């Protein structure tokens, strides 16, 4: 699929962990033209290459190197704004940008659970974008906000959506092993992260549960209805650089066989695959049969970091079925998912 015209785009919070992923994904994007990079006041006026403490293995894209960083304001010269702001800055700017006609694709928690803000995984609940009609009318905005979930909620929801759709989840238990980059930069102090597991991430378990229920729930044309299954989450920070691992156990209606569960996950495709969107993975869920996969170092970059890798699908004596899911937290769990949401919104003429 080819977009009718290129849209100008800004990255808000461009120097940070997620901001850098956005810059990397957008610099040569076929539908979007990267024009604006924002920062806090302390780096405003600097060249991007001088201000960003670059963490990715590929070099800073040529297109971004010489862009002069601007403070975040609500009159940015860009049609689409990809937000990787800290929450406090998002509170200050995201709604203002939408009011002044910008289409904001946010990675921040600020508006995720608002009753008129679609919280979207492009393969899972593309129909939730319809909420933008209600949002614009209710708030009087000419722009919009589409939210991206918390990184562990995206991994869980993408890996379980085909099963919820095919059978219905009755109960879910998830334990996460989350990468250090999920805390941003500088994030977790090295003495806390190295050789360690920290069994607490502030607000993470609450976000994982409530956002997953919104992703997997419905939209009836005027309101969202949360998916009604019971869910328990335990979140841990582990000494891994990138890639969140999630140990998931489910009770599914009708107790499908392991063969059926595996085939359902393997065969899953969504709207991005149907439309051939530029950032879409060919297979959003990759199933591995080896007993020791997925592993972050081996599997996080599958499909350019846009697939969830699932392995160890087996019976669970307590809940029914269990497996392990791995997703790249700053790509599928953040910037990549948000770019895919924007491609979907453009393709479906919501923006």
Which residues are known to be catalytic? 151, 244
The pair phi, psi for residue 196, each rounded to 5°, is: -150, 160
Question: Tokens 């304001």, residue?
Answer: 73
The pair phi, psi for residue 114, each rounded to 5°, is: -60, 145
Question: Tokens 């759709």, residue?
Answer: 165
Shortest distance, position 201 Cβ to ligand NAP, whole Å: 11
**Among 24, 36, 72, 309, which residue sits at the site for ligand NAP (rule: CB under 6 A)?**
72
Footprint (CB under 6 A) of ligand NAP, residues 39-58: 39-40, 42-43, 51
Stretch that binds ligand NAP, among 2-10, 26-34, 127-135, 177-185 (CB under 6 A): 177-185
**Strand-strand pairing, 144-147 and 103-106:** parallel
* Alpha carbon 210 to chain centroid, angstroms: 15
Distances (CA, A) of 107 to 2, 92, 291: 25, 15, 33
Shortest distance, position 110 Cβ to ligand NAP, whole Å: 8
Nearer to ligand NAP, 201 or 313 (CB): 201
Q: Does 326 bind ligand NAP (CB under 6 A)?
A: no
Nearer to ligand NAP, 201 or 285 (CB): 201
For residues 349 and 351, give the distance between their C-alpha atoms in angstroms, rounded to a whole number: 5
**Among 144, 176, 181, 341, which residue sits at the site for ligand NAP (rule: CB under 6 A)?**
181
Shortest distance, position 40 Cβ to ligand NAP, whole Å: 4
Q: Does 96 bind ligand NAP (CB under 6 A)?
A: no
**Among 176, 251, 264, 330, which residue sits at the site for ligand NAP (rule: CB under 6 A)?**
330
Stretch that binds ligand NAP, among 60-68, 74-82, 179-187, 313-321 (CB under 6 A): 179-187
Answer yes or no: are the C-beta atoms of 148 and 341 closer than 8 Å: yes
Q: Does 338 bind ligand NAP (CB under 6 A)?
A: no
Asked if omega into 181 is within 30° of 0 (cis), the reply is no
User: Which residue has its beta carbon closest to ligand NAP?
Assistant: 16
> How many CA atoms within 13 Å lie on the side-chain side of 306?
24
For residues 308 and 79, give the distance between their C-alpha atoms in angstroms, rounded to a whole number: 30
Footprint (CB under 6 A) of ligand NAP, residues 123-152: 151
Stretch that binds ligand NAP, among 166-174, 226-234, 256-264, 326-334 (CB under 6 A): 326-334
Shortest distance, position 282 Cβ to ligand NAP, whole Å: 24
Q: Does 240 bind ligand NAP (CB under 6 A)?
A: no
Structural tokens at position 308: 């969830």
Distances (CA, A) of 31 to 2, 24, 102, 340, 342: 8, 14, 16, 11, 10
Q: Does 336 bind ligand NAP (CB under 6 A)?
A: no
Shortest distance, position 114 Cβ to ligand NAP, whole Å: 15
Point out which residues pair with 316 in neighbouring strands. Answer: 320
How many residues sit close enough to ligand NAP to count as binding (CB under 6 A)?
A: 30
In 3D space, the residue among 55, 41, 49 whose CA is nearest the CA of residue 13 turns out to be 41
* 284 SS3 class: coil
Q: Does 241 bind ligand NAP (CB under 6 A)?
A: no
**Strand-strand pairing, 103-106 and 244-252:** unpaired
**Among 182, 243, 272, 284, which residue sits at the site for ligand NAP (rule: CB under 6 A)?**
182
| Binding stretches for ligand NAP (CB under 6 A) | 12-13, 15-19, 38-40, 42-43, 51, 72, 84-87, 89, 107-108, 151, 181-182, 184-185, 329-330, 333-334
């Amino acid at each position: 699929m080819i977009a009718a015209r290129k849209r100008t785009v800004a990255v808000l919070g461009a120097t940070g962990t997620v901001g850098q992923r956005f810059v990397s994904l957008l610099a040569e994007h076929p539908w979007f033209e990267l024009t604006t990079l924002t920062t806090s006041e302390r780096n405003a006026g600097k060249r991007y290459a001088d201000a960003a403490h670059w963490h990715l293995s590929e070099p800073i894209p040529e297109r971004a190197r010489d862009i002069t960083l601007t403070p975040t304001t609500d009159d940015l010269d860009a049609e689409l704004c990809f937000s990787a702001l800290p929450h406090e800055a998002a509170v200050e700017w995201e709604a203002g940008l939408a009011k002044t006609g910008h289409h904001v694709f946010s990675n921040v928690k600020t508006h995720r659970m608002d009753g008129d803000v679609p919280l979207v995984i492009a393969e899972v609940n593309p129909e939730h974008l319809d909420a933008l009609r209600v949002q614009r009318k209710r708030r009087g905005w000419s722009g919009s906000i589409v939210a991206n979930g918390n990184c562990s909620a995206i991994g869980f929801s993408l890996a379980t959506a085909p099963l919820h759709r095919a059978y219905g989840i009755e109960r879910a238990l998830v334990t996460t092993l989350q990468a250090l980059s999920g805390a941003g930069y500088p994030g977790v102090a090295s003495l806390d992260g190295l050789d360690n597991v920290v069994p607490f991430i502030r607000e993470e378990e609450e976000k994982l549960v409530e956002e997953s229920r919104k992703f997997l729930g419905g939209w009836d044309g005027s309101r969202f209805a949360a998916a009604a299954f019971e869910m328990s989450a335990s979140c841990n920070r582990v000494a891994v650089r990138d890639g969140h691992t999630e140990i998931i156990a489910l009770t599914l209606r009708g107790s499908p066989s392991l063969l059926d569960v595996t085939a359902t996950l393997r065969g899953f495709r969504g709207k991005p695959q149907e439309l051939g969107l530029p950032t879409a993975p060919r297979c959003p869920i990759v199933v591995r049969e080896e007993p020791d996969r997925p592993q972050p170092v081996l599997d996080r970059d599958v499909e350019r970091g846009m697939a969830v890798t699932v392995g160890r699908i087996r019976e669970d004596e307590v809940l029914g079925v269990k497996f392990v899911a791995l997703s790249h937290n700053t790509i599928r769990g953040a910037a990549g998912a948000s770019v895919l949401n924007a491609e979907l919104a453009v393709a479906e003429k919501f923006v």
